[in-house]
């Protein structure tokens, strides 16, 4: 379905390894600056002496209340930035139908890990019972909705590493179909032991900084952080005189069901997601300034993604931003959507940090230097365990 409905983005927020807000994170993307460190202070693992990750700097974690998770804390900080950029408070929206849709992977699945360990080792206490009750009774999106005092629908999206992209796409549909006047959407995830050990045991993690699409790539680096986007109905944006940071124009999602953890080698599901999103946005590849790809630097992911880009988005410049953010799991798609909107705003496409040598098997060379851009549209995509694939088409605030 082709749609001319442009959903405006009133505010953006971001907290990750390369910056504590949208502007500083984009500067990190341009310069390659990021906090890349061993997670020993946060993860108890025999691997922590070997595998660094992209972490939110400790200074940006100060002030986290003891009774909430890092994932919750990160998203609240990003959301507050989005409201501030929009020039509005959550309370001013309380009379409106405000939805919350957030992608996450670690938080919904693993933040009760200590409780589980206590149960397995016979140290389960009444405190753990209370903690388990809190875990089961406060899904992430519901908790965020209550935190800001909203009464609209809420949904936690757990399509693994595509969750952040799906959250942005679903938020667009909630506004387009009239379900909500505004939606706070995005993604958040934190470094924790289960995914940290899990990716190492899958033999896809690397002790080096990742090298997306390079011939000599050796695997992925995990990351953490959160990104928030405040989407509104165009009429609400007009009524409240809200600024515009850009638009969400199209969304596509497709599952290929090829393997629990590996992408379909030709990226067939991603090809469909690209095609759906582009058709809904009513654009052609010639309209795009770039595609911000998943670009994990694993052998299988980069091959599938390169094949899909060549098939559906031939000739479109490819940028991989995980060289400064790491793979932020359920937050990844939202982090990359925010960075993509900022690239359109700044009219500058960053180099793919970490890329070194072309791989002749990929037939794809990502950006190698910071490059001015003139076109006003971009695509951001995600691939995920379980065969999930998602893509969103984004437009600059001055997109025709």
Query: pTM here?
Result: 0.95
- Percentages helix, strand, coil for the chain, rounded to the nearest 5? 40, 20, 40
Between CA 386 and CA 105 the distance in angstroms is 12
Residues near 114 by beta carbon (within 8 Å), at least 6 away in sequence:
none
Model pLDDT, residue 259: 85
Residues near 55 by beta carbon (within 8 Å), at least 6 away in sequence:
17, 35, 36, 37, 39, 42, 191, 223, 224
Between CA 205 and CA 43 the distance in angstroms is 16
Residue-range domains of the chain with CATH: 7-395 (3.40.47.10)
Cβ neighbours, 10 Å, residue 67 = 8
**Parallel, antiparallel, or unpaired: how do β-strands 388-395 and 246-255 relate?**
antiparallel
Query: CA dihedral defined by 364, 104, 150, 80, rounded to 10 degrees?
Result: -60
Model pLDDT, residue 108: 65
Model pLDDT, residue 1: 43
Please report the DSSP string for 234-268 in residue order: HHHHHHTT----EEEEEEEEEE----SSS--TT-H
Between CA 276 and CA 100 the distance in angstroms is 24
Between CA 153 and CA 97 the distance in angstroms is 8
Active-site annotation, residues? 161, 294, 327
Model pLDDT, residue 290: 98
Core vs surface per residue 274-285: b (16+ CB within 10 A) or e? bbbbbebbebee
DSSP-derived letter for residue 149 is: T
The vertex-7 CA angle with 251 and 146, nearest 5°, equals 95
3-class state of residue 54 by DSSP: strand
Residue 117 parent element (H or E): helix 113-120
Residues near 93 by beta carbon (within 8 Å), at least 6 away in sequence:
150, 181, 182
Between CA 253 and CA 276 the distance in angstroms is 7
- With beta carbons less than 8 A apart as the criterion, state whether 278 and 368 touch: no
Q: What is the pLDDT along the chain (400 residues), one digit of tens a residue?
A: 455 689 999 999 999 999 999 999 999 999 999 999 999 998 888 999 999 999 999 999 999 999 899 999 999 999 999 999 999 999 999 999 999 999 999 876 666 777 777 888 888 888 878 777 776 766 899 999 999 999 999 999 999 999 999 999 999 999 999 999 999 999 999 998 889 999 999 999 999 999 999 999 999 999 999 999 999 999 999 999 999 999 999 999 999 888 888 889 999 999 999 999 999 999 999 999 999 999 999 999 999 999 999 999 999 999 999 999 999 999 999 999 999 999 999 999 999 999 999 999 999 999 999 999 999 999 999 999 888 999 999 999 999 6
């Amino acid at each position: 379905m082709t749609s001319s409905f442009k959903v405006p983005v009133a505010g953006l927020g971001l907290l990750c390894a390369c910056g504590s807000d949208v502007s500083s994170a984009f500067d990190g993307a341009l310069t390659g600056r990021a906090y890349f460190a061993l997670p020993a202070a946060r993860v108890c693992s025999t691997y922590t002496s070997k595998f660094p990750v992209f972490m939110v700097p400790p200074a940006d974690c100060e002030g986290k209340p003891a009774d909430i998770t890092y994932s919750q804390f990160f998203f609240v900080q990003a959301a507050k930035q989005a409201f501030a950029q929009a020039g509005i408070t959550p309370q001013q929206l309380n009379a409106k139908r405000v939805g919350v849709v957030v992608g996450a992977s670690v938080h919904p699945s693993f933040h009760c890990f200590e409780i589980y360990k206590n149960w397995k080792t016979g140290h389960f206490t009444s405190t753990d019972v209370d903690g388990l009750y809190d875990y089961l009774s406060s899904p992430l999106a519901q908790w965020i909705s209550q935190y800001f005092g909203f009464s609209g629908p809420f949904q936690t999206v757990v399509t693994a590493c595509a969750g952040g992209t799906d959250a942005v796409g679903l938020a667009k549909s909630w506004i387009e179909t009239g379900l909500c006047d505004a939606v706070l959407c995005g993604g958040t995830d934190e470094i924790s032991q289960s995914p940290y050990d899990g990716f190492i045991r899958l033999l896809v993690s690397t002790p080096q900084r990742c090298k997306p699409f390079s011939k000599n790539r050796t695997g992925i680096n995990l990351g953490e952080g959160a990104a928030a986007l405040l989407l509104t109905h165009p009429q609400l944006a007009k009524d409240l005189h809200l600024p515009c940071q850009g638009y969400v124009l199209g969304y596509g999602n497709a599952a290929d069901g090829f393997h629990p953890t590996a992408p379909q080698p030709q990226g067939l599901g991603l090809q469909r997601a690209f095609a759906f999103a582009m058709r809904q946005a009513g654009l052609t590849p010639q309209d795009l300034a770039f595609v911000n790809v998943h670009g994990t630097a694993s052998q299988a992911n980069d091959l599938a993604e390169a094949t899909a880009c060549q098939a559906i988005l031939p000739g479109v410049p490819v940028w991989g931003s995980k060289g400064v953010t790491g793979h932020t799991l359920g937050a990844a798609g939202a982090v990359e959507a925010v960075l993509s909107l900022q690239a359109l705003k700044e009219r500058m496409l960053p180099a793919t940090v970490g890329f070194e040598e072309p791989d002749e098997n990929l037939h794809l060379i990502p950006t190698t230097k910071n490059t001015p851009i003139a076109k006003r549209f971009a695509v951001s995509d995600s691939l995920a365990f379980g065969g999930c694939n998602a893509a969103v088409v984004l437009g600059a605030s001055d997109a025709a």
